[in-house]
A and B are shown apart, each in its own frame.
Chain A
Amino acid sequence: MRWINRRPRRGAEMLLLCLPFAALVAAYLIGSAIRLDANPADKLLPSPAQLWAGIQRIALMPDPRTGEWLLWSDTAASLMRLAAGLGIATVIALLLGMAVGLLPYLRASLGAFVAFLSMVPPLALLPILFITLGLGEAAKICLIVIGVAPIMTRDLALRVHEIPREMIVKAETLSASTWLIALRVVLPQVLPRLLTSLRLQLGPAFLFLIAAEAISADAGLGYRIFLVRRYLAMDVIFPYVAWITLLAVLADIAIDRLRSRVFPWSDLERGA
């Protein structure tokens, strides 16, 4: 039988799913054991017990110096920035993307500009942002918006443009105005795509968030990682990285669930 036709059975599938994770954990444990054997105070690859002690210190008890529960206060600060940034970016993408995709005049004037903007490397703009917007929340949120909004806008505009011309013409024959067509024909069709686009931008958004927090902050997930990196506290960094990954995965799943709950038909479209 050809390899492309062989499929794992259900049990084997679970096993195959777990294997890469298990291999990663095993590699870590072996490396950690070897290093700690050579130097018991080694910080690079802490043992599971040290990791657990680190997790307890950051998540399960207040910090002795500030009295704050570090992981939770950092998470709250970061998620607030992330939600604000992604929220603003989504609204911009929806309004601008629909307008550019729908109206030839706007497409002529803004289409190339948005494409141009989406190619600017946002991290290179950081110094400008910090000087114009200060070191507070505004600059951090703005970096996320600048980082993800142009790409989301382009994506949405392309999607609007892909809507079959016949559908628009049909609506026109039923005497729909531009506004009505946008609202009743285009909007419902692109909303699922907007959510998917948002999902795909979660990774970049986290990247920009952490970059902004590394430069100036007094709380946040990225702030903590870059702070404790100064003394190589991998027992804090590893749990934080795992936590950020988990948050991103959960947000990804939540947005996808939302899409298929609110727009059940979009699942059919994707399969087609």
Chain B
Amino acid sequence: MHDPDFHRDFCRARLIGAVTLGLCLAVAGHARAEEKTDFKVAWSIYAGWMPWGYAADNGIVQKWADKYGIAIEVTQFNDYVESMNQFTAGGYDAVTLTNMDGLSIPAAGGVDTTAVIVGDFSAGNDAVILKDGTALTDIAGRPVNLVEFSVSHYLLARALDSVGLSERDVSIVNTADPDMVGAFQTPDVTAMVTWNPMASEIAALPGATKVFDSAQIPGEIIDLMVANTEVLQDNPDFGKALAGIWYETTALMVADTPEGAAARAAMGAASGTDGAGYEAQLAATRLFDKPAEAVAFVNSPDLATTMDHVRGFLFDKGLLGPTAPSADAVGIELPSGQVLGDGANVKLRFTDDWMQMAADGAL
């Protein structure tokens, strides 16, 4: 009846299977840190990131990749969080994210991350909206619907701070961003923090008043294209190609020409609105289409102040990791070489290297 040979073979097969599966799980993220020619970039739908999709669709990515003899695969994610998780897990070499999420997801996850392009900052794209209220102080005591731990949450913390309130004065209800517009129209929702395009749609509803927006904290919610630092160090051409793609695309999209209007209309359509709707979002976005301005922005001392606010917020929410002893746990390097926090654990780096090259026309 019993066949010991079979049994042993069976066990061995299982063991081999287990090892193989383990290796697959692990290797998913470790084809990196050496010179290579194939790169993967992830982006998701947001006013300031639409140029990446447009560049991929219109041959601009191909053109710059060819120039440096590399291949760049650009993937659009419908889910922003998933795109960052994929980058953190090592599946992508670069991703679009905000300065805050860059610190709390890849950097706090131990992935050394460099901001190659500072694409824009939110200047009104994120807003606090109240029902039956005219001033921010009316928010006290209300439940506030927002995406917890997102830039909306940060905006709320900054807004409350500005009028001497704190998060203890409100209660937070985590709500998914695609459902914000519908949620605002239900009776039990009276305060909401969200971003465009939802924010402008909600603010236009009857009874809704925008009481605070990101234009009141300019330069604090920054949209970046970040890349894995090791990959960049080993392949500086990848950074050059990203910079080339960005500035060629943004120069086209801000141009007051029929081509520029066509590009804006295409980006608007891709983001689910139209040319006019997209231009309204761009008006609330401080887009860095000129590399020199982006270089000046990352070199200004305000960036250190902003990142200090951000890391304080993240630490306060436990997002720098459960074992982080203080907001200093994850080091942030600024272009000047100054480091905020732990110099031995620098995981988020701001640099003007590639933007400066673009400004100098050295790409």
> Is A bound to B?
yes
Q: Which residues of A contact B (CB under 8 A)?
A: 1, 6-9, 12, 19-20, 22-24, 26-35, 38-45, 53-54, 57, 64-65, 126-127, 130-131, 134-136, 214-218, 223, 226-227, 229-232, 235
In the complex, A35→B14 CA distance in Å? 22
B258 on the A face (CB < 8 A)? no
B281 on the A face (CB < 8 A)? no
In the complex, A247→B43 CA distance in Å? 37
Contact status B25-A27, CB under 8 Å:
yes
Contact status of A40 and B25, CB under 8 A, knowing A23-B18, A131-B186, A217-B174: no
Contact status A217-B22, CB under 8 Å:
no
8 contacts across the A-B interface (CB closer than 8 A) = A26-B19, A30-B18, A43-B88, A43-B109, A127-B179, A130-B182, A130-B186, A216-B173
Contact status A12-B2, CB under 8 Å:
yes
Contact status of A34 and B2, CB under 8 A, knowing A40-B110, A135-B173, A218-B173: no
In the complex, A167→B156 CA distance in Å? 68
In the complex, A172→B149 CA distance in Å? 66
Which of A40, A216, A235: most chain B Cβ within 10 A? A216
Contact status A223-B26, CB under 8 Å:
no
**Minimal Cβ-Cβ distance residue in B for A26:** B18
In the complex, A35→B90 CA distance in Å? 10
**Minimal Cβ-Cβ distance residue in B for A38:** B30
**Minimal Cβ-Cβ distance residue in A for B79:** A229
In the complex, A27→B319 CA distance in Å? 28
In the complex, A49→B359 CA distance in Å? 49
The 5 nearest A-B residue pairs measured at CB: A41-B110, A30-B22, A31-B25, A34-B26, A27-B21
**Minimal Cβ-Cβ distance residue in B for A25:** B18
Contact status B29-A130, CB under 8 Å:
no
Contact status A23-B17, CB under 8 Å:
yes
Return chain A residues, CB-CB under 8 Å to B317.
Answer: 65
Contact status of A42 and B22, CB under 8 A, knowing A131-B182, A227-B148: no
Contact status A130-B183, CB under 8 Å:
yes
Return chain A residues, CB-CB under 8 Å to B318.
Answer: 64-65
Contact status of A39 and B176, CB under 8 A, knowing A27-B21, A127-B182: no
Contact status of A216 and B25, CB under 8 A, knowing A134-B186, A227-B149, A232-B88: no
Which of A9, A29, A31, A45: most chain B Cβ within 10 A? A31
**Minimal Cβ-Cβ distance residue in A for B33:** A38
Tell me which residues from 162 to 190 in chain B have a Cβ below 8 Å from any Cβ of chain A.
Answer: 171-176, 179, 182-183, 185-189
Known contacts A19-B14, A22-B18, A30-B18; 5 further A-B pairs (Cβ under 8 A):
A41-B347, A44-B88, A127-B182, A135-B183, A231-B319
In the complex, A5→B99 CA distance in Å? 64
Measured CB to CB, the closest approach of chain A to B89, in angstroms, equals 5
Tell me which residues from 291 to 329 in chain B have a Cβ below 8 Å from any Cβ of chain A.
Answer: 317-319, 321-323
Contact status B186-A230, CB under 8 Å:
no
| Residue among A30, A39, A230 making CB contact with B19, cutoff 8 Å | A30
In the complex, A192→B27 CA distance in Å? 49
In the complex, A1→B27 CA distance in Å? 42
Contact status A31-B179, CB under 8 Å:
no
In the complex, A231→B103 CA distance in Å? 10
Contact status of A41 and B109, CB under 8 A, knowing A26-B15, A30-B18, A30-B19: yes
Measured CB to CB, the closest approach of chain B to A41, in angstroms, equals 2
**Minimal Cβ-Cβ distance residue in A for B82:** A229
Return chain A residues, CB-CB under 8 Å to B30.
Answer: 34-35, 38
Measured CB to CB, the closest approach of chain B to A157, in angstroms, equals 34
Contact status B148-A230, CB under 8 Å:
yes
Fill in one digit per residue for B88-129: 1 if any A CB lies within 8 Å of its CB, else 0. Answer: 110000000000000011001111000000000000000000
| Residue among A34, A43, A54, A226 making CB contact with B23, cutoff 8 Å | A34
Contact status A227-B25, CB under 8 Å:
no
Contact status B14-A57, CB under 8 Å:
no
| Residue among B25, B174, B185, B321 making CB contact with A45, cutoff 8 Å | B25
In the complex, A26→B19 CA distance in Å? 7
Contact status A223-B22, CB under 8 Å:
no
Contact status of A39 and B111, CB under 8 A, knowing A9-B1, A135-B183, A215-B175: yes
| Residue among A1, A29, A43, A216 making CB contact with B176, cutoff 8 Å | A216
Tell me which residues from 118 to 172 in chain B have a Cβ below 8 Å from any Cβ of chain A.
Answer: 145, 148-150, 171-172
Return chain B residues, CB-CB under 8 Å to A30.
Answer: 18-19, 22-23, 25-26
In the complex, A227→B317 CA distance in Å? 12
In the complex, A29→B15 CA distance in Å? 13
In the complex, A26→B22 CA distance in Å? 7
Tell me which residues from 1 to 20 in chain B have a Cβ below 8 Å from any Cβ of chain A.
Answer: 1-3, 7, 10-11, 14-15, 17-19
Measured CB to CB, the closest approach of chain B to A114, in angstroms, equals 28
B85 on the A face (CB < 8 A)? yes
In the complex, A8→B317 CA distance in Å? 54
Contact status B105-A232, CB under 8 Å:
yes
Return chain A residues, CB-CB under 8 Å to B269.
Answer: none
In the complex, A53→B321 CA distance in Å? 12
Contact status of A34 and B22, CB under 8 A, knowing A57-B322, A218-B172, A231-B319: yes
In the complex, A149→B17 CA distance in Å? 41
In the complex, A7→B1 CA distance in Å? 7
B262 on the A face (CB < 8 A)? no
Contact status of A214 and B176, CB under 8 A, knowing A19-B11, A130-B183: yes
Contact status of A136 and B175, CB under 8 A, knowing A12-B7, A65-B318, A229-B81: no
